[in-house]
Amino acid sequence: MSAPTRLRITGGAVHDPANGVDGDVRDICIEDGRIVAEVPAGSPTLDARGMVIMPGGVDIHAHFASSSCNHARRLIPDEHAADPAPAPSLVEGLARSGTGGTVPSTFTTGYRYAGLGYTTAFDAAVAPLTARHSHSELDDTPCVDGGIFVLMGNDEYLLRQIAAGERDRARDYAAWLLRATGGYAIKIVNPGGVEAWKTGQRNVATIDDQVDGRPVTPRAILETITAAGNALRLPHPVHIHCNNLGVAGNAATTLASMEALAGRRAHFTHLQFHCYGGGGGQPWSSAAPKLIEYVNAHPEVSVDVGQVMFGPAMTITADAPVEYLLHKSSGRRWTNIDIELETGCGIVPLTYKDKAAVSALQWAIGLELFLLSQDPWRVVLSTDHPNGGSFLSYPALIQLLMDRSVRDEQLKRVNPKLLAGSALADGLAREYTLNEIAIITRAGPARLLGLRAKGHLGAGADADVTIYSREPDLARMFSTPRYVIKHGELIVEEGQLRRAPAGRRLRVAPGYDDAVLPDLRRHFERYSTVAFEHYPVRDLPGEPLAVG
Amino acid sequence: MSPSELGPVTCLGCGCGCDDLRVRVADGRITDLSPPCPVARAWFGDGRVPGAVRVNGRDASVQDALREAATVLAGAVGRALVVLAPDISVQAQGTALALADRLRAAVDSATSDAAAAGLLAAQRRGRAAATLGELRNRADAVLFWAVDPGPRYPRYQSRYAPDPVGTHVPEGRSGRTVISVSVGADRGPGSADVELVLAPDQEIPALSVMRAVALGNPLGELPAPLDAAAAIAGRLMKARYVAVVHEAEPGQQQARDRYRAEGLLGLANALNGPTRAALSSLRAGGNRNGAEAALTWQTGYPMAVSFEGGTPAYAPDRRALTGAEAMSAILVVGAAATVASALESAAAKVPVIVVGPRASEASLPARVAIDTGVAGIHEGGTAYRMDDVPLPLSPPLAEAGARSAAETIAALLEEVLARPERGTG
């Protein structure tokens, strides 16, 4: 069957929670890349009897297409050599070979996402200066519709506007920057802390610390940029990586950040890494119950978990000061790239070991967040790929969520030192249902991203569909979908990747007041090493999504 | 046609990637440019390039040349070498890599052995670096290690460091301490605030001492000039932000110590304990960094990749350029002059195809030569600065009619894809 313009999928159990469908056996009809209510009799059919049908997966937070990722790739030739990725046997188009490891090459990334049933993914941290590079990588990442989140939490021009109380100009600049970079959402990483790292202040410790001696605090950065994002009516709220990532006792900072933005839409990312009690001489502990309680009670807040999975990982973040600490504590190789006027980049390869007490605690905290969450629509599955583990570990994570016996068996094997009294160690009986998995991997992230045509199978949706064979081994079931359909095209057949179409670019182009431009041009001429005229990325594929 | 001034234009004459040039064009030629950088003047020239297409030395149509090239390459699956030479865009480089993947070819590039040593050292140790604008905006101490950027990178000091005003260096040059270290014939800049002269055999001991000082390791009394090196390290530790600048391309007068790159990486890393520091590696132009970037995102490796086994393999200690005689075909994309001498002996035995600027004038005896324009002068796309910042190219002679390298390489790929795929061997 080659690229049908029409297709009827018959006999499968459909999990389409956005449309209230929970395992009902019903037909899914596709025409010209969209889900439709019906196709004419005689249209090609795909027999999915006994199978499970879900929308294509949506990865709300991963690192796979950025200059930082490319620096990370460079650091691990040994991993690449150990995981060669031959070109798949495609029925059309040029198939590309590549390499895997924790940071695969681009074509391999696209193929592996498709092989997992994921059809949309966002790179969650792109320095505006290097957005052009990210788009080049996305051009070479087939099978997934992709976009980038643009780093703003330590941007020199924004810090100056915040210091001056120029909130409107900050909003207009944020809009200009999103347009200039072809970005989809605003990202804040360690607000003010990366600038502090570059000045010798090294970091900030609370959201009320001054940054570099200026009248700017992380709190002001959070408030100003979140307000800007919401005023611009962006499809996804500001995506926040809080201060003090990975530090014992950081839950207090995370809670303070959430409270600072109370009542405003905001997405707090890889919450697991910001969920630690202890510190100040006390041992590390889980603060997951406290933080998820806040999330449960505040419908304007959403999170993704950033689950740690045991095994090799690659920490890649704009939160450069934390990477320096990781380098010093682990002794592992360290790459740091300070990025002018905007942000930073730190990279340290890492392995999470189940016998290491802190790794075991991190693993447990992530699971606690999932299992104590009361609203799966606002608690998204992520590993912060590749920081907590590869996206290839999503199926194993799904198995942990759906099968308590597997979870309990693993719990017996991990270092229990820091788990005494934790909710997971005390026993959490909850097991996710297929519909809940469909929510945290597709419907929920699509809704939080404002992607109206993604994450569901109602008429008008993009025909991105994943079909799984039922298997008792849930990890196996979710790691090898039987069929994957991308924009109506069958790209995985009988578990094999057969087509690899280019993905679409997901970006926004919010409006702004041109009055910001003369001042911005002066800033560029004085401090930037890239000409103002050269800064915007032009000739991007496709049209931006509507804003508002 | 009346003269016109175009700009800003990006220059790929060296790795500085200055993107603020104004270029004067008259009658399809470049007549002037400003600021008057000698490297930029030499690289742009008057903008004229040949437009020949040759097969076996005779004029041919582009279609015939592409067919001949595809025939040669398709017959060399598993035994081909693809060379990414300078002066093409990263888009063209990426397409050439697709071709190499299809041909199961070895890939080499204009990454010099000296630069390769730095890349390998960074793979072993990691690296503390920054984009050039950070040096401009923050560095209050600039250590030039065995290099004066002036001759090869004329605008480095005026655009990046130490001259300009920066966000954290409002005084410009007077707000910065410039330290010049000379190693043998590799001289640092003359107008430094502090100078140190080392004999070649003193270089690694000096770097070791400086790193030890930065790490806070106790040292006894040191002999000259190591005592001076230790004093410089102490001075760097008191700075707010240190730029360590070194030449990553081959020296002109002597082979440098193979541990220099390692030592400088270690020093920059160690300085990040007591202060902040970044290593700035001076790289040549022509979008060499773009080739390394595209290789990395497509294969995982920045250079010396072979697709021979069906997946990318890394062989940085066996550069394919030096083993080209064992190949059955060689494809050079980009300005072949840069790699011609390395391929000279192989070209006498192996059919060579050249697609790029001045292909017809290359000293290689090419089976097929297709002239194209120069990225940044005649065609657009993206090129990478020495600090891996991607820049758009704004070609001043886009209308001059030069053949597009990116499009020609894409057409060659299509021509190869149109032929049945063969196995290796």
Name which of B133, B302, B392 is nearest A74 (Cβ-Cβ). Answer: B302
| SS3 call for B205 | helix
> A431 and A373 in contact (C-beta within 8 Å)?
no
- Chain A contacts of B394, Cβ < 8 Å? 533-534
Q: Look up residue B262 and give its two tokens.
A: 């390692």
Question: B246 in a domain, yes or no?
Answer: yes
Q: Look up residue A299 and give its two tokens.
A: 């419908």
Q: What is the DSSP string of B266-308?
A: HHHHHHTTTSEEEEEEE-BSTTHHHHHHHHHHHHS-SS-EE-T
Q: Look up residue A188 and give its two tokens.
A: 């804040």
> A150 and A341 in contact (C-beta within 8 Å)?
no
CB contact under 8 A, B136 and A333: no
Q: Look up residue B381 and give its two tokens.
A: 């796309």
Question: B27 in a domain, yes or no?
Answer: no
- Listed residue (B162, B159, B156) closest to B142, CA to CA: B162
A337-391 pLDDT tens trace: 999 999 999 999 999 999 999 999 999 999 999 999 999 999 999 999 999 999 9
Task: Give the separation between CA A500 and CA A88, rounded to whole angstroms.
Answer: 9
Question: B38 in a domain, yes or no?
Answer: no
CB contact under 8 A, A341 and B8: no
Q: Angle of helix B62-74 relative to helix B90-103, nearest 10 degrees?
A: 40
Is the domain of B295 the same as that of B195?
A: no
Helices (H), ranges, A83-130 = 106-115
Kindly state whether B101 is in contact with chain A, defined as any CB-CB distance less than 8 angstroms. Answer: yes
- Chain A contacts of B130, Cβ < 8 Å? 337-340
Judged on CB neighbours under 10 Å (0-12, 13-18, 19+), B75 is middle
CB contact under 8 A, B272 and A526: no
A294-347 pLDDT tens trace: 999 999 999 999 999 999 999 999 999 999 999 999 999 999 999 999 999 999
Question: Closest-CA residue in chain B for A334?
Answer: B126
**DSSP annotation of B10:** -
Cα Rg, chain A, nearest whole Å: 22
Give the end of a domain, one of B230, B249, B282: B282
Q: ipTM higher than 0.85?
A: yes
Give the end of a domain, one of B236, B258, B282: B282
> A363 and A415 in contact (C-beta within 8 Å)?
no
Question: B15 in a domain, yes or no?
Answer: no
Which whole number is the average pLDDT over A37-48?
Answer: 97
- Listed residue (B289, B396, B370) closest to B44, CA to CA: B396
Is the domain of B156 the same as that of B226?
A: yes
> B192 and B175 in contact (C-beta within 8 Å)?
no
Name which of B127, B160, B297 is nearest A529 (Cβ-Cβ). Answer: B160
CB contact under 8 A, A336 and B101: no
Mutate to test the interface with A, among B9, B165, B311, B419 (most CBs of A within 10 A): B311
Question: B23 in a domain, yes or no?
Answer: no
CB contact under 8 A, A534 and B299: no
Question: Closest-CA residue in chain B for A346?
Answer: B128
- Chain A contacts of B309, Cβ < 8 Å? 84
Residues 304-343 of B with CB under 8 A from A: 307, 309-314
Cis peptide before B302 (omega within 30 of 0): no
Residues 58-87 of A with CB under 8 A from B: 67, 69-71, 73-77, 80-81, 84-87
B300 to chain A, closest Cα gap in Å = 5
Mean pLDDT across chain A, nearest whole number? 97
Neighbouring CB atoms inside 10 A of B216's CB total 10
Question: B24 in a domain, yes or no?
Answer: no
- Chain B contacts of A109, Cβ < 8 Å? none
Is the domain of B190 the same as that of B134?
A: yes
Name which of A77, A104, A132 is nearest B392 (Cβ-Cβ). Answer: A132
> B94 and B294 in contact (C-beta within 8 Å)?
yes
Handedness of CA B262, B267, B272, B273 (dihedral sign): positive
Q: Indicate left, alpha or beta for B304 from its phi (over 0: left) and psi (-120 to 50: alpha).
A: left
CA angle A465, A467, A473 (to 5 degrees): 140
Residues 132-151 of B with CB under 8 A from A: 132-134, 136-138
Residue A135 in this model has a pLDDT that exceeds 60:
yes
Kindly state whether B216 is in contact with chain A, defined as any CB-CB distance less than 8 angstroms. Answer: no
| Residue B192, pLDDT score | 98
| Residue B252, pLDDT score | 64
- Listed residue (B329, B328, B295, B336) closest to B312, CA to CA: B295
**Block residue for tokens 């992380």:** A218
A420 to chain B, closest Cα gap in Å = 36
| Residue B425, pLDDT score | 38
- Report the relative pairing of strands B58-59 and B194-198 from DSSP bridges: unpaired
Is the domain of B365 the same as that of B242?
A: no
> B235 and B268 in contact (C-beta within 8 Å)?
no
Is the domain of B176 the same as that of B270?
A: yes
Task: Give the separation between CA B210 and CA B236, rounded to whole angstroms.
Answer: 10
Is the domain of B216 the same as that of B236?
A: yes
| SS3 call for B6 | strand
Per-residue pLDDT of chain B (425 residues), as tens digits, is 578 999 999 999 999 999 999 999 999 999 999 999 999 999 999 999 999 999 999 999 999 999 999 999 999 999 999 999 999 999 999 999 999 999 999 999 999 989 999 999 999 999 999 999 999 999 999 999 999 999 999 999 999 999 999 999 999 999 999 999 999 999 999 999 999 999 999 999 999 999 999 999 999 999 999 999 999 999 999 999 999 999 999 876 666 777 999 999 999 999 999 999 999 999 999 999 999 999 999 999 999 999 999 999 999 998 888 889 999 999 999 999 989 999 999 999 999 999 999 999 999 999 999 999 999 999 999 999 999 999 999 999 999 999 999 999 999 999 999 998 765 43
Is the domain of B267 the same as that of B366?
A: no
| Residue B251, pLDDT score | 78
Query: Which pLDDT band holds residue A4 (cuts at 50, 70, 90)?
Result: low
Distances (CA, A) of A476 to A89, A380, A398: 22, 21, 10
- Chain B contacts of A101, Cβ < 8 Å? 300
Residue A1 in this model has a pLDDT that exceeds 50:
no
When divided into structural domains, chain B yields a total of: 2
Range of the domain at B326: 49-111+286-417
Give the end of a domain, one of B229, B247, B282: B282
Residues near A211 by beta carbon (within 8 Å), at least 6 away in sequence? A159, A192, A193, A195, A196, A201, A204, A217, A218, A221
A233-286 pLDDT tens trace: 999 999 999 999 999 999 999 999 999 999 999 999 999 999 999 999 999 999
| CATH number of domain containing B200 | 3.40.228.10
> A141 and A65 in contact (C-beta within 8 Å)?
yes
- Listed residue (A316, A325, A326) closest to A386, CA to CA: A316
Judged on CB neighbours under 10 Å (0-12, 13-18, 19+), A413 is exposed
Task: Give the separation between CA B175 and CA A192, rounded to whole angstroms.
Answer: 25
Is the domain of B276 the same as that of B191?
A: yes
CB contact under 8 A, B134 and A129: no
| Residue B422, pLDDT score | 60
CB contact under 8 A, A527 and B137: yes
Residues 197-216 of A with CB under 8 A from B: 197-200
Mutate to test the interface with A, among B297, B387, B424 (most CBs of A within 10 A): B297
Please state the pTM of the whole predicted model: 0.98
Residues near B246 by beta carbon (within 8 Å), at least 6 away in sequence? B144, B145, B146, B147, B260, B261, B264, B279, B280, B281, B282
Neighbouring CB atoms inside 10 A of A24's CB total 11
A400-424 pLDDT tens trace: 999 999 999 999 999 999 999 899 9
Is the domain of B186 the same as that of B246?
A: yes
Question: B41 in a domain, yes or no?
Answer: no
Positions of E strands within B321-423: 329-333, 352-357, 368-372, 382-384, 390-392
Q: How many CA atoms lie within 13 A of A26 on its CB side?
A: 16
Question: B16 in a domain, yes or no?
Answer: no
